[in-house]
A and B are shown apart, each in its own frame.
Chain A
């Protein structure tokens, strides 16, 4: 299992569009992928949009990504790059 800490950098947080992008990316991998709040207050299956939205993760929130499976490294790389890139959103 691999894990990585990420911070939500885009202004709108993990809203519907960003969450959808996360789920679409996670679904491409075989590994089980989870997203959880660093404080442990909530965690989600990264392949379920409704589960990810329940994290209610706003701008600045720290999350832990974990992946377990044959392609766990690729999965964690791609997913963390989504966070690093602010889900493609431009700062105003």
Chain B
């Protein structure tokens, strides 16, 4: 019983999260979101938009816009794109608006997980920075980790 109350309280806290839309070439976006959902569960504040190689920019632009409206919880939307300089980033950048829409490029799974598991209420700018940092910190040369603490 206490468990139920706890999860309800957790749900209430979750309203007003910074929402997200992953925008990528091909189906990267939906697969990243599916993987994050498997790991953290609740990702109702994040949507995925895949842009086909031959899609019309106008159509893609509208699709991103619709996704943003769908997931927004009133605390800003972070657009996560696959590659700086690519079409998804260029389309996402059209929405840039201080305090309301931010874009972070080079999306990877740790970044999506970070956005999915917001534990406290923070501004879009703060969350965007955290997501960016998490993405950078999640990249390792596994070989470098093993060498200093070699196992027997």
Contacts and interface: CB of A to CB of B under 8 A. Distances in A.
B2 to A, nearest CB: 9
Interface residues of A, number: 13
Contact of B113 (A17, A47, A50): A50
A49 B119 contact: no
Interface residues of A: mostly helix, strand, loop or mixed?
A: helix
A48 interface: yes
Interface string A8-26: 0000000011011000100
Contacts of A48: 117, 119
Interface stretch (B33-41, B56-64, B85-93, B121-129): B33-41
A16 B117 CA distance: 14
A47 B10 CA distance: 13
Contact of B39 (A20, A41, A56): A20
Contact of B110 (A28, A41, A47, A50): A50
A22 B110 CA distance: 17
Interface string B107-149: 0001001100101000000000000001000100000010001
Interface in A66-91: none
A31 to B, nearest CB: 13
A28 B119 contact: no
A49 B38 contact: no
Given A17-B39, A20-B39, A24-B41, A49 B117 contact: yes
B149 A41 contact: yes
Nearest to B134: A50
Interface of A: 16-17, 19-20, 24, 27-28, 41, 47-50, 56
Given A48-B117, A49-B117, A50-B138, 17 more contacts: A16-B39, A19-B39, A20-B39, A20-B40, A20-B41, A27-B10, A28-B3, A28-B6, A41-B149, A47-B119, A48-B119, A49-B39, A49-B113, A50-B110, A50-B113, A50-B117, A50-B134
16 contacts: A16-B38, A16-B39, A17-B38, A17-B39, A24-B41, A27-B10, A28-B3, A47-B119, A48-B117, A48-B119, A49-B39, A49-B40, A49-B113, A50-B113, A50-B134, A56-B145
